[in-house]
Structure 1
Amino acid sequence: MLLERIYDEDLSQASYFIGCQAENVALVVDPRRDIQTYLDLAAHHGMTITAVTETHIHADFLSGARELAAATGATAYVSGEGGEDWQYDFAAERLVDGDTITLGNITVTARHTPGHTPEHLSYLVTDGAFADQPGYLLTGDFVFSGDVGRPDLLDEATGMEDTRFAGAKQLFASLKSVFLTLPDYVQVFPGHGAGSACGKALGALPSTTVGYERTFAWWGKHLAADDEQGFVEELLEGQPDAPAYFGRMKRQNIQGPALLGGCTAPRALDAREVSRGLEDGTYALVDTRSVDQVHAGTVPGALSIPSPGKAATHIAWAFDPDTDDAALVILAPDADKAATYGDHFVRVGVDAPVGYVTSLAGLPTAVPPLVAPADLEKLLIEDPDAELVDVRNRSEYTDGTVPGAEHLSAGRVLFHQDQLPSGDATVVTFCQSGLRNSVAAAALRRAGRHVVELDDSYAGWSRWAASQNDDMTTPESR
């Protein structure tokens, strides 16, 4: 049996390629939407992808199951569990608890493990050439290394109310009835690693075992004592902010992501065409340079995506294809780099890259407004309608922020402008180092907001405040 993990560092997401080497057939679980990596892997091993499936309706990325099935002719499988409200809208084979997928001498058995979502499936894998019992469990967002999937995303991302409590209880039951009934030796392969917003304490290890999690994971003590209430309380406490784009991912994954039919490489554009497109609103520039370079001057209204390794995450924070129909022009050194950004963007349903430019020569530029930490108080006194906004995660804000700052995380700020001052009021934003802030501030400027960035963000302000012997430990009202 072949089992390979394909990991996307951008979204902290894992998909899996399972192959039978006797019959050279393979199954892909939870594929992302830029599918070439799976096609290449199949070709490398001389295998045919005959089945594609996913563990649940994802919120953090747009599934590639439909895309890969269309490209290969493989059978697509999705969950048929969860009730009427959690059924997929596109054609695929439905799996319920106990159903199997056969790949030569490999048997993949679906187990219904609700909690993170009502329809969630995990997959037990039995290598029939070696054993007659399952040795591997693909858990999706059910169990991670050191953690379990959060049950509150339906509330946080889709606007549902108080589903988190029922979900947490379902998760407790799933751990008891499925996970902890398995032998300790069963290897566990989760759908996410550290950095994902699908849990609060995910480990970085690519795999674990049932026995290790049973013994050492935080939730083990609650299951050992049959303490459902203690489990629910600890699970729900301190969950990270859910990016607003998660709601769009849920909706599109239920409907069935649009088929790409292969990714079209962005074409080289000249400054004259881009300038016209920027002027009439048909184009939006994606500035991929560092924060310092953007602060030295960028195209007005440009999006800032300063970290290549987080391009999918950041474009999903900064651009809403439901409301913004501009085509994206990527600032990149060459066609290959521009295509790489395009691959990341489609993972979150931003399918609009049409071209690229290699420099800003010939394009209009301006310097984004910044305020030095030493000048922040003066700005706020002179402009009493201005609002100071901390765009870090909720836990970072709680641990300490600039006095007077409100909180609205970078992954939510574009989509929750009703929580910002109305009209032309100045918004002063900051994160920890300035990178997330650059993404958020540029997105708000494109939306017509007047945004001033706190230079060097919270880290810079903290150094300055320490030099002034100021108290900087707790949120305060201005």
Structure 2
Amino acid sequence: MLIERIYDEDLAQASYLIGCQARGEAIVVDGRRDIAVYQELARQNGMRIVAVTETHIHADYLSGTRELAAATGSTIYVSGEGGPDWQYEFDGERLYDGSTITLGNITITAVHTPGHTPEHLSFLVTDGAFSDQPGYLLSGDFVFSGDLGRPDLLDEAAGGVDTRFEGAKQLFASLRDKFLTLPDYVQVHPGHGAGSACGKALGAIPSSTVGYERRYAWWGPYLAANDEQGFVAELLEGQPDAHAYFGRMKRENRQGPAVMGRRAPLAELDTADVAHDLAADKVTFIDTRSNSEVHRGTVARSLNIPAGKSVASYGAWVVNPETDNNPLVLLTRDQEQAQDMRDHLVRVGIDNVAGYLTSIDGLPATTPKLIRPEELEGFDAAMVLDVRNRTEHAAGHIPGSHQLSGGRLMWHLDELPAGGTIVTYCQSGVRNSVAASALRRAGYSVVELDGSYAAWTASRSARASVENAH
């Protein structure tokens, strides 16, 4: 048997390829939409992908289940649990608690583990060539290394009202009645790692065991004492902000994400044509450079989505394909980087990329406005806006600032002043540059705090030291 973990650093998301080497057959669990990685992995191991499935209706990325099935002819399996309000709306074999998928000697058994979502399944994997007992659990967003899937996303992203309390109770029951009944040796392979917004304290290690989590995870004492009330309170306390685009992911994943099919390579565009389309507001320019480079000059009304590990996340903060139909033009160093960025963007359903440029020469230019921390006190700002998470804001913030995280900002513009200048900040300046670019494109007057909160605290400490010296 083969189990391969495919990890996306951008979204801190893990998918899995499980294969029977004797039969040359494989299944992909929780795949993403840029599917070449699975096809290549199967090819390298002499396998055919014959089945695709997912643990639940995801909120943080767009599922690649339908994409893989269309490309490989594999059978789709999805949860049939959760009741009528949580049924998938596209064709696929339905799985229920105890349903099995067989690949040669491998048996994959669905286990209904509601809590994060009502329809959530985990998958027990038995390698029949080695044992008649399961040795592995693909836990999806149920159990992470050191943490649990958050039960409040239905309230935060799917329009639920106080569903978090019932979800937390369901998680307690799923742990008690399903997870903790498994032998300690069962290996746990979760769907996310550190950095995901699907939990509040996810560990960075890629896997765990039932026994390790039973003994050392924060929730263990609550289960041992059968303290449901204490468990619910601890689980719901301090959850991070949920990105607003999660609601779109939920809807599209339930309906069935659009199948892209084979995609042509991205072309380098003509600068004059892009300039013409920018003037007519027919395209949206994406500056993929760092915030420090952008601050030295960028394209007017462009969005800053810095290349690196957070392209999908930042892209979904500032590009909403449901309301903005403009094709994107990417500023990248070459075609390879452009196509890599496109792969990241399609993971959150941003599919309309026209092409790329390698320079901003010849395009309408602007220089974002900055303010130094020592100038802030005397600046006439309509609002000082903290685009960090609420947990960061609670830990320390600029007095009088208003918190609205970058992942929710463009969906809550009603919280911003109608006129005047907004001063924005994050922790170091990266998220701030992304959020500020979106506000400028939307017509707001924005000044970024140079160096953001880190620079402000350093400046304050320096001033205090001088005052104490005198």
Question: In structure 2, what is the equivalent of residue 401 of structure 1?
Answer: 397
Contact 2:56-2:117 at 8 Å conserved across structures: yes
Q: How far is the alpha carbon of 1:425 from its aligned partner?
A: 2.5
Per the alignment, residue 407 of structure 2 pairs with 411
Report 1:164-313 matches (<5 A): 164-313=164-313
* Contact persistence 1:263–1:343 (CA under 8 A): no
Partner of 1:117 in structure 2?
Answer: 117
Q: Which amino acid is the alignment partner of residue 95 of structure 2?
A: L
Residue identity matched to 1:404: G
Structure 2 segments unaligned to the other structure (5+ residues):
466-470
Is the Cα contact below 8 Å between 1:373 and 1:461 reproduced in 2? yes
Match of 1:363 in 2: 363
Report if the CA contact (8 A) 1:368-1:452 is conserved: yes
Q: What residue in structure 2 maps to residue 388 of structure 1?
A: 384
Partner secondary structure for residue 298 of structure 2: coil
SS at match of 1:94: strand
Q: Tell me how far apart the structure 1 counterparts of residues 28 and 158 of structure 2 sit (CA, whole Å).
A: 27
Using the TM superposition, name which of 276-285 and 201-210 deviates more: 276-285
User: SS of 1:202's equivalent?
Assistant: coil
Kindly indicate whether residue 8 of structure 2 is the aligned counterpart of residue 41 of structure 1. Answer: no
The answer to whether the 8 Å contact 2:4/2:16 transfers is yes
Query: Structure 2 length as normaliser, TM-score?
Result: 0.98
- The offset of 1:469, in angstroms, is 2.0
1:438 aligns with 2:465: no
SS at structure 2 position matched to 1:453? strand
The 1-side partners of 2:162 and 2:461 are apart by 42
Give the deviation of 1:225 after TM superposition: 0.3
**2:295–2:368 Cα contact (<8 Å) kept:** yes
Q: State the 1:319 CA deviation.
A: 0.7
Structure 2: distance between partners of 1:12 and 1:203? 11
Partner Cα distance (1:205, 1:6) in 2: 14
Amino acid at match of 1:226: N
1:428-467 equivalence runs, <5 A: 428-467=423-462
Alpha-carbon deviations, 1:207-243, whole Å to 9, x = none? Answer: 0000000000000000000000000000000000000
Q: Distance in 2 between matches of 1:139 and 1:445?
A: 41
Work out whether residues 32 and 62 of structure 2, in 8 Å CA contact, stay in contact via their aligned partners in 1. yes
CA distance in 2, matches of 1:60, 1:460: 31
Q: How far off is 1:5 after superposition?
A: 0.1
**1:51 and 2:51 matched:** yes
Q: Does the 8 A contact of 1:81 with 1:120 survive in 2?
A: yes
Asked whether 1:85 is paired with 2:85, we answer yes
CA contact (8 A) 1:153 1:242 kept: yes
Q: Answer yes or no: is 1:346 the counterpart of 2:346.
A: yes
CA deviation map 1:48-88 (0-9, x unaligned): 00000000000000000010011000000000000001001
Q: CA shift at 1:379, angstroms? A: 1.2
Question: RMSD of the TM alignment (CA)?
Answer: 0.9
Q: How far apart, in 1, do the equivalents of 2:420 and 2:198 lie? A: 34
1:349 Cα deviation (Å)? 0.2
Further displaced range: 274-283 or 191-200: 274-283
By how many angstroms is 1:28 displaced? 0.3
- Structure 2 Cα separation of the partners of residues 152 and 159 of structure 1: 11
**Segments ≥4 residues shifted beyond 3 Å:** none
Map of 2:421 onto structure 1: 426
Identity %: 64
Instruction: Map Cα deviations across residues 268-326 of structure 1 (whole Å, 9 max, x no partner).
Output: 11110111111111111110111111001111111101242110111001111111111
Aligned partners of 2:395, 2:234: CA distance in 1, in Å?
Answer: 19
How far has the Cα of 1:147 moved from its partner?
A: 0.3
Question: Amino acid of the residue matched to residue 7 of structure 2?
Answer: Y
Cα deviation code 1:134-176 (max 9, x no counterpart): 0000000000000010000000112211000000000000001
1:357-411 deviations in whole A, cap 9, x for unaligned?
000011111101111111111113xx5xx10010111111001011110100011
Per the TM alignment, residue 267 of structure 1 is displaced from its structure 2 partner at its CA by 1.0
| Structure 2 Cα separation of the partners of residues 153 and 15 of structure 1 | 20
Letter in structure 1 aligned against 2:432: N
> Displacement of 1:262 after TM fit?
2.3
For these two proteins, the number of residue pairs brought into alignment is 465
Deviation at 1:264, TM superposition (A): 2.9
CA contact (8 A) 2:307 2:341 kept: no
Does the Cα contact within 8 Å between 1:305 and 1:311 map onto a contact in 2?
A: yes
Contact 2:53-2:78 within 8 A present in 1 as well:
yes
Q: Displacement of 1:414 after TM fit? A: 1.1
Q: Does the 8 A contact of 2:2 with 2:18 survive in 1?
A: yes
Structure 1 letter corresponding to 2:439: L
Shift of 1:116: 0.1
Report the residue type matching 2:389 in the other structure.
Answer: N
Counterpart Cα distance in 1 of 2:105 and 2:324: 49
Q: Report SS of the residue matched to 2:42.
A: helix
Q: Contact 1:34–1:263 (CA<8 Å) still a contact in 2?
A: no
- The reply on whether 1:468 has 2:460 as its aligned counterpart is no
SS at match of 2:379: helix
Using structure 1 for the length normalisation, give the TM-score: 0.96
- Worse-matched range after superposition: 223-232 or 264-273: 264-273
> Which amino acid letter does the alignment assign opposite residue 454 of structure 1?
L
Matched residue, 1:9: 9
Matched-pair contact (CA < 8 Å) for 1:429–1:437? yes
